[in-house]
């Protein structure tokens, strides 16, 4: 019988691998050397989790458990072996968007699960989910001198908040099951992909202009 803990562990592995792929692709696009690509992939995959653990006063899991490191290492080897970086631009973009969607949904859930296990209130749960989901991406983008996705006109962090909120609702009614977790995960991934392909964005405070300030 598959329990909730196992589902969250599997989703965490999926998120780690997915964000490692997104970091790998960004590192290649920025023409970094091997060490640079590894650093970007590593921080993308575990940066959010490290921020989350720091917020709740815990030693980051990656310092005690090697599973994330093995996941990242194997993912990078497979990505390089498949010559993922040699594909055409539109395929690289598709891979990046898909990996980012998987990582966002996965880490939103695992971050929220940590908050629930610590018996935090809804704000605490949503905050941990948000930090876990977007923290690695922020570090990745800062390292390569790009504006973080979360600050652009895109529904990105909002998805993490929404997923965490739904998990809080399920927890309130004691309805967190392997099925409901998987539905949230798959739904989050699909929602992110729809948002990207339909170019759905949050409203800004001012209209875009053709010149820079």
In this prediction, residue 14 carries a pLDDT of: 97
**Distance, first Cα to last Cα, the chain:** 59
In this prediction, residue 72 carries a pLDDT of: 97
- If you average pLDDT over every residue of the chain, what do you get? 91
Region 105-131 average pLDDT: 98
In this prediction, residue 56 carries a pLDDT of: 96
Residue ranges covered by each domain of the chain: 4-197
In this prediction, residue 206 carries a pLDDT of: 58
Q: Kindly report the pTM of this predicted structure.
A: 0.92
In this prediction, residue 37 carries a pLDDT of: 95
111 neighbors 150 (Cβ within 8 angstroms): no
179 neighbors 186 (Cβ within 8 angstroms): no
- The DSSP string of 116-135 is HHTT--HHHHHHHHHHHHHH
For 60-110, write each residue's pLDDT tens digit: 999 999 999 999 999 999 999 988 877 777 888 899 999 999 999 999 999
Say how far apart CA 3 and CA 17 lie, in whole Å.
Answer: 22
- Least-confidence region, from 84-98, 105-119, 153-167: 84-98
In this prediction, residue 211 carries a pLDDT of: 35
């Amino acid at each position: 019988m598959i329990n909730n803990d196992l589902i969250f562990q599997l989703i965490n592995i999926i998120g780690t691998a997915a964000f490692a792929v997104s970091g790998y692709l960004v590192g290649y696009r920025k023409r970094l050397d091997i060490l640079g690509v590894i650093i970007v992939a590593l921080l993308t995959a575990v940066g959010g989790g490290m921020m989350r653990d720091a917020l709740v006063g815990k030693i980051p899991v990656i310092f005690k458990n090697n599973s994330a490191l093995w996941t990242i290492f194997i993912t990078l080897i497979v990505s390089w072996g498949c010559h993922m970086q040699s594909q055409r631009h539109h395929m690289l973009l598709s891979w990046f968007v898909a990996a980012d969607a998987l990582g966002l949904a996965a880490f939103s859930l695992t971050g929220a699960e940590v908050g629930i296990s610590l018996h935090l209130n809804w704000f605490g749960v949503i905050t941990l989910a948000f930090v876990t989901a977007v923290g690695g991406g922020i570090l990745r983008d800062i390292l390569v001198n790009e504006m973080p996705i979360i600050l652009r006109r895109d529904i990105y962090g909002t998805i993490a908040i929404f997923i965490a909120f739904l998990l809080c609702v399920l927890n309130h009614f004691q309805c967190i099951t392997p099925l409901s977790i998987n539905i949230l995960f798959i739904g989050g991934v699909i929602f992110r992909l729809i948002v990207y392909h339909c170019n759905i964005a949050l409203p800004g405070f001012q209209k875009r202009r053709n010149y820079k300030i």
